[in-house]
Structures are given as C-alpha cells and as structure tokens.
Amino acid sequence: MSVSKVDFKKIEKNLYNPPARPVMAEVPEMSFLMVDGSGDPNDEKGEYQKAVEMLYTLSYTIKMSKKGSHPIDHYFEYVVPPLEGLWWTENPHDLSDKKHFLWTAMIRQPSFVNEEAVKWAKEEASRKKPSLDFTKVYLSVYKEGRTVQMMHIGSYDTEQETFKQMEEYMVEHQLQRPLTCERKHHEIYLSDPRRTRTDRLKTIIRLPVEPMEGKA
C-alpha cells in the first residue's frame, strides 16, 4: 500500500500558485534551512551556488533518513519544497551590479525537522561532501505575515516589470513596504533553470507590506 506524500505546493496553493497579477497573501510561520551570503548568484564558483548545493544536500539527507539507521521522530513522507531566497542590497535603488547583492538562500522543512535532525544531517553530508562548509547552514523559523505576491513568468532579469505591477497595486491599496525589513523581497523558484526555457521560468515574488501611515 503506497503512502501519499505531503506536498506543500499542492496543499497550500494560495502560497505556491498565485496568479500572474498582484494579490494579498497571509504567510504563516514556517521552518527553513537557511544560508546567508552575498555576491552574484550567477557566479558558478560563488557563495550562492555553494549555498544552494548545501541546502539541497541537507534537505535530501533528511528526506532519505527513513532508509538509513537514523529514524527521526514523527517523520512523514513528503516532497522536498522548492528553493527560495530573500534578496536585498545596501542601495535598494541600484540593482544593476549583482556582485553587491545580499541574500538568504533557503528551503522549507517539515515540522518534524529539529536541531538534532539537522546536526545529524550535517554530519552525514560532511562525510559525503567534505569540501562544503555545512556549518554555514542553520535552521530558523520565518514568519512573513502580510504580503503582496505575484507569479513572475520569464527571465529573472525581467523581474523589474513584475515589481512595477506590485508597487502599483500597493499604492492603489494604500500599502507600503515595512521600513524595518531592509527592503528584502522574497522569491520562490518553481522551475529548474537547467531544464526550463527562460521564457517559461516560474518564480513567485513576494513583498512584505503594511498599511500606509494613517491608513490602517
């Protein structure tokens, strides 16, 4: 008898399948494996590529733990969620030089993943990939709260067009970016760029928002 797998993308369609127009979304608290860094994400030898490799390695080590000698309490079958990222720069008005990007790469984890499970996964992964520094990966709870989100279809380099639509929506609905969030924006990558045509890439873009002053 096959056991159905939990797939967050299918269970929480409001969070993982927004329309190609701005909509509101209340995002609950979630656990993530995270890596902080800086620099151009397209640099094949840069920090970002190593961060992504570490996140996937640990995520699949935890997922496959059921087949090894280290059972994790309350484990259930699931689909590894997509890669996500928080992005910002010290100068939010200049996004032209990707070398100055600051980011947090992250992959959502099921509720049973705790510090003990992550510690074990790091030990396992370090034996298989000793060249990677898994100490940079940490488990953290992230609560996004009230956001505006939209599906961006196409190249990452054309995201400014989507941001413009989202900003127009925010003005129309008397919303603003929180002044204390370092103007981070959130991206969720639903497509594998190695296997998907650039014009068909699907990326969810999400911005935290709050009412404009005096408009609450």
* Mean pLDDT, residues 9-29: 97
pLDDT above 90 for 109: yes
Does residue 91 have a pLDDT over 70?
no
Is 2 inside any structural domain? no
Is 1 part of a structural domain of the chain?
no
CA 92 to chain centre: 20
Q: Is 216 a domain residue? A: no
| Residue 68 structure tokens | 């090894």
Number of Cβ within 10 Å of residue 25's Cβ equals: 18
Unique residue bearing structure tokens 């603003």? 176
Domain for residue 185, yes or no? yes
pLDDT tier at 194 (50, 70, 90 boundaries)? confident
Q: What is the per-residue pLDDT across 131-190, written as a single tens digit (0 to 9) for each?
A: 999 999 999 999 999 999 999 999 999 999 999 999 999 999 999 998 766 678 999 999
Structure tokens at 62: 């935890």
| 14 within a domain of the structure (yes/no) | yes
pLDDT for 200 beyond 70: yes
pTM of the complete model: 0.93
Asked if the model's pLDDT at residue 99 lies above 90, the reply is: no
Confidence at residue 1, expressed as pLDDT on a 0 to 100 scale? 46
Pull the structure tokens for residue 106. Answer: 């992250």
Q: Can you say how many angstroms the Cα of residue 148 is from the centroid of all Cα atoms in its chain?
A: 15
Domain assignment of residue 76, yes or no: yes
Q: Is residue 52 included in any domain, yes or no? A: yes
CATH number of 98's domain: 3.20.80.10
Write out the residue range of the structural domain in which residue 86 sits. Answer: 8-211
Question: How confident is the model over 112-128, as pLDDT tens digits?
Answer: 999 999 999 999 999 99
Q: Facing residues of 107 across strands?
A: 33, 83
Identify which has the larger pLDDT, 57 or 70.
57
> Is residue 154 in some structural domain?
yes
Q: Which amino acid is at 2?
A: S
How many C-beta atoms surround the C-beta of residue 93 within 10 A? 7
Q: What is the mean pLDDT of the chain?
A: 92
Query: What is the domain count for the chain?
Result: 1
Give yes or no for residue 5 having a pLDDT over 60.
yes
Name the E strands within the chain. Answer: 23-38, 83-88, 102-109, 138-153, 175-176, 185-189, 202-208, 210-211
Q: What is the DSSP string of 134-151?
A: GGG-EEEEEEEEEEEEEE
Strand partners, 6: 78
